[in-house]
Amino acid sequence: MTPQEIATILDEHEKWLSRAHSGARANLARANLSGFTLEKVNLKSAKLSGANLEKTILAGSNLSNTDLFCAVLDGADLRNADLQNADLRGASIRNVAFKGANLVGADFRGGTLMFGSDDEDGERKSPTSNQQGADLSYSAMPNAQLAGAHLAGANLSGVNLRKADLKGADLSGCILVEADLSGADLQDANLKGAILDNTILKHANLSGANLDGCDLSAADVTGANMVRHEDSLPFEVREVLNMHYVWIREDGRLGDRAILKGTDLSFIDLSAVNLSGADLHGANISGGNLSNILLVMSDLSSTNLKGTNLSGATLEGINLANADMTEADLSNAIIAPVDLKDSKGKVTGRKWPANLSGAKLVQANLKGADLHNANLAGADLTGANLTGADMRGVNLTDAVFQPEQLDSAKTDHKEKNSD
């Protein structure tokens, strides 16, 4: 195909797009456009199925709603191109520059190649059967708009997806090995069964994302927002929580106290709710947002609260014995004793202190927390920030900490000295 022929097709296509009763839709199916510079061209809704676009420069081009079915795009330059709702099924898309490209609603799903007639041995499937989705490995897609894109099963190994918009995208079963998704927005994305070995998810927004079957142990999720909403929980758990809220509201006359022993509540957003009196013994609430929650007299013994946000929480009289609060944020939390009341709701004068015995508070932030009279016997406070924390009357028997950690805390010793 000569450059003049391509230019004519593009002109005719522009006319066709302008609905000027002239021109013709560009049909470049199977065309060999490898290495051509087609920067900023308008190929909206064009037919490019099976076209060879290897190393073609299409930066800034409009390829929205384009049929790129089974096209070869290896090494192409698609920076800032508009590929909204493009059909990229079965396309070969290795090492493509997609920086800033708009791929909203684009379909990258793979297909299956079969022989139309059986082999002598009855074999139908071709050995090149591609059931795994598109191969986008090592492509550059920073800042790309991929909201709602169909990428199920795609190979995204080593892909640069920094700050990409992947809201609501289908990434189920994707291979994201060594992909860089730093700062990417994956809100409500489906990552079910995705392989996340050495995947960088630093400061990514994974709020509401489906991570079922994902092993995040080898992924870097530093600073990632992985909070999920209550409606992502199983029906039975939601029911238990709802009945508890009724129990609180109706002062115990209706509803039921929540018993969620050993339940997986990781990355849950339960900020500012009232779960006072709940039994959450052994539950996994790691990475959750429990800021400003009320957990008065609740049982959270042996819970996993690693990295959980408990800032401003009211934890009076709580049982946190042997809980793991490594790197948890407990700033300004109230972990003070609670005034016990009788059956008529009258204050008895007795106080019930919080139990943090044996708790792991390594690198926890307790800045400004009220811990007075709490039992911290055997607790590990290594590296915990106790600046401004009220540590008066605290039992620190066998607790692990450096004396200087208490320098900026409020303690009995300092009270006496100031008297």
In angstroms, the CA 344 to CA 352 distance is 18
Please, which residue, 114 or 347, has the CB nearer to other proteins? 114
Residue 8 engages other proteins in binding (rule: CB under 8 A): no
In angstroms, the CA 145 to CA 83 distance is 9
Taking the complex as a whole, the smallest distance from the CB of residue 122 to other proteins amounts, in Å, to: 12
Residue 150 engages other proteins in binding (rule: CB under 8 A): yes
Taking the complex as a whole, the smallest distance from the CB of residue 210 to other proteins amounts, in Å, to: 10
- Contact residue for other proteins among 35, 111, 223, 262 (CB under 8 A): 111
In angstroms, the CA 218 to CA 221 distance is 9
Taking the complex as a whole, the smallest distance from the CB of residue 220 to other proteins amounts, in Å, to: 25
- Contact residue for other proteins among 24, 30, 236, 254 (CB under 8 A): 30
Residue 107 engages other proteins in binding (rule: CB under 8 A): yes
What is the amino acid identity at position 35? G
Query: Please, which contacts does 252-256 make with residues 24 or more away whose CB atoms are closer than 8 Å?
Result: none
Please, which residue, 186 or 369, has the CB nearer to other proteins? 186
Residue 29 engages other proteins in binding (rule: CB under 8 A): yes
- Among 66, 59, 70, smallest CA distance to 98 is for 59
Q: How far is residue 141 from each of residues 81, 122, 158, 209, measured CA to CA in Å?
A: 11, 42, 11, 20
- Contact residue for other proteins among 42, 95, 132, 387 (CB under 8 A): 132
SS3 12: helix
Residue 217 engages other proteins in binding (rule: CB under 8 A): no
> Given the rule CB under 8 A, which of 44-52, 181-189, 292-300, 310-318 is the region that contacts other proteins?
44-52
Taking the complex as a whole, the smallest distance from the CB of residue 303 to other proteins amounts, in Å, to: 31
Please, which residue, 124 or 413, has the CB nearer to other proteins? 124
Q: Which residues is 380 bridged to in the sheet?
A: 360, 400
Tally of CB atoms within 10 A around 383: 14
As a residue count, the chain comes to 419
Cβ 92 vs Cβ 110: under 8 Å: no
In angstroms, the CA 185 to CA 205 distance is 5
In angstroms, the CA 30 to CA 52 distance is 7
- Contact residue for other proteins among 100, 105, 158, 173 (CB under 8 A): 173
- Contact residue for other proteins among 6, 113, 297, 377 (CB under 8 A): 113
Residue 133 engages other proteins in binding (rule: CB under 8 A): yes
User: Using CB under 8 A, which residues numbered 175 to 204 contact other proteins?
Assistant: 192-193
Provide DSSP, 123-138: --B-TT---S--B-TT
What letter does residue 345 receive in the DSSP assignment? S
> Given the rule CB under 8 A, which of 15-23, 103-111, 271-279, 293-301 is the region that contacts other proteins?
103-111
Task: Give the number of residues in contact with other proteins, rule: CB under 8 A.
Answer: 37
Residue 153 engages other proteins in binding (rule: CB under 8 A): yes
- Contact residue for other proteins among 124, 249, 350, 413 (CB under 8 A): 124
In angstroms, the CA 225 to CA 230 distance is 15
Residue 119 engages other proteins in binding (rule: CB under 8 A): yes
Residue 72 engages other proteins in binding (rule: CB under 8 A): yes
In angstroms, the CA 265 to CA 83 distance is 38
Please, which residue, 70 or 300, has the CB nearer to other proteins? 70
Cβ 29 vs Cβ 50: under 8 Å: yes
Please, which residue, 126 or 222, has the CB nearer to other proteins? 126
Please, which residue, 148 or 277, has the CB nearer to other proteins? 148
Task: Give 299: exposed, middle or buried? Use CB within 10 Å, 0-12, 13-18, 19+.
Answer: buried
What is the amino acid identity at position 320? L
In angstroms, the CA 176 to CA 210 distance is 15
Residue 152 engages other proteins in binding (rule: CB under 8 A): yes
Q: Which residues is 294 bridged to in the sheet?
A: 274, 314
Residue 131 engages other proteins in binding (rule: CB under 8 A): yes
Please, which residue, 48 or 278, has the CB nearer to other proteins? 48
- Contact residue for other proteins among 2, 4, 22, 128 (CB under 8 A): 128
Please, which residue, 70 or 189, has the CB nearer to other proteins? 70
- Among 196, 198, 197, smallest CA distance to 209 is for 196
Contact residues for other proteins (CB under 8 A)?
29-30, 49-51, 69-70, 72, 89-90, 107, 109-117, 119, 124, 126-128, 131-133, 150, 152-154, 170, 172-173, 192-193
